[in-house]
Structure 1
């Protein structure tokens, strides 16, 4: 900005416009700054190449892993989240139930009990922050398109959005996704969008 060169925010604008700026010898950029920016640009291109290569490897691993493919059938879970879950969770039977795995991910509210009355606080944010972030991003994508869906899971999310703040609903959906993932991994089953749990009346 000090040399009269201003770009909009975002990596895409830098990639698209920086080469022309560096080649423009009529602007006031000093030669040393041009060289530095050129080096940074080359470094960025190399990092971008490595990201593409790693994404290709993740896709190959995902397609060759049965558990990962089954997890990717869950709405809001793509290959990146599925592979990360399979790699990090290992044997899902180490968790007694889906709530334990959700708690391990930091997606279960902390509790404070007094006089026999439990009070739910904010989510703990303990556990695996990377996996939690992936699940929350997936849940946020579900919230954006939920109005166009008609399955039972979408009806549950719509009802939650009607009475709670969007961010609360997003975390609740991420929690639910983690529990579904545990069920698929622990029992070796496939995702069923029309599934409704059996309710036993005592």
Structure 2
């Protein structure tokens, strides 16, 4: 077999495999969209979609894997459940803080970290057409809360970067606060506190 034939055969196999995987991904994406539109999840997915970084694929995972959000007393507790809170070692009056422990739900933590990366790319106060579309049909309270959260999260990221924090540290901090906002939206505790 000549080299050209071997290369062509390898390329054909690669393309066939790529097409097969692409069609699987499309089927899974379609199924996730169907599940997100189910009556049990539709309203919650719609509310969570108001927040930058939370889209149709992320929202159902947060809802299903968390279960009852009200089992957490506050957003910080939910963030700690996801291991997005900083670790702490203390003895007496001495307290040492460390990075996130990574001991919680790794899948949800990864989704929120990825969502935070999306938040950190945008301009403060900017609302894309896609976000406006996701917010359409939600209550004014939820939209206003999500808009304030979006502004706060982006501001936090840029403030941390300006103060010399490493990008990953800033993204993790945004993800932790994003988890708190997710908790507030899901529990109906959407009071906003300026910091």
Q: Does 1:171 align with 2:172?
A: yes
Q: Against the structure 1 CA distance between its residues 54 and 103, is the aligned structure 2 distance closer, same or farther, given a 3 Å change threshold?
A: same
2:159: which partner in 1?
159
Q: Which residue of 1 aligns with 2:30?
A: 56
Consecutive unaligned residues of structure 2, counting only runs of 5 or more, are: 127-146
Partner of 2:103: 126
For residue 108 of structure 1, what is the aligned residue in structure 2? 85
Cross-structure match for 2:139: none
TM-score in terms of structure 2 length? 0.74
Correspondence for 1:28? 3
Are the equivalent residues in 1 in contact too, given 2:156–2:174 (CA < 8 A)? no
Give, in angstroms, the shift of residue 28 of structure 1: 1.7
CA contact (8 A) 1:146 1:157 kept: no
* 1:13-42 deviation digits (Å, cap 9, x = unpaired): xxxxxxxxxxxx9x72454x6545534432
Q: Which residue of 1 aligns with 2:73?
A: 96
Counterpart of 2:20 (choices 34, 46, 51) is: 46
- 1:148 Cα offset (Å): 6.3
Distance 1:69 1:92 in 2: 16
Say whether 1:197 aligns with 2:193.
yes
Higher-RCO chain (CA-CA 8 Å, sequence separation at least 6): 2
Which ranges in structure 1 are unaligned for 5 or more consecutive residues? Answer: 1-24
Match of 2:129 in 1: none
Asked whether the equivalents of residues 63 and 69 of structure 1 are also in contact (C-alpha less than 8 Å), the reply is no
What TM-score, normalized by structure 1, do the two folds share? 0.71
CA distance in 2, matches of 1:70, 1:116: 42
Aligned pairs, number? 168
Q: Which residue of 2 aligns with 1:82?
A: 59
Structure 1 runs of 4+ with >4 Å offset: 33-37, 147-152
CA distance in 2, matches of 1:123, 1:146: 26
Distance 1:63 1:73 in 2: 16
Larger of the two Rg values belongs to structure: 1
The CA RMSD over aligned residues, in Å, is 2.7
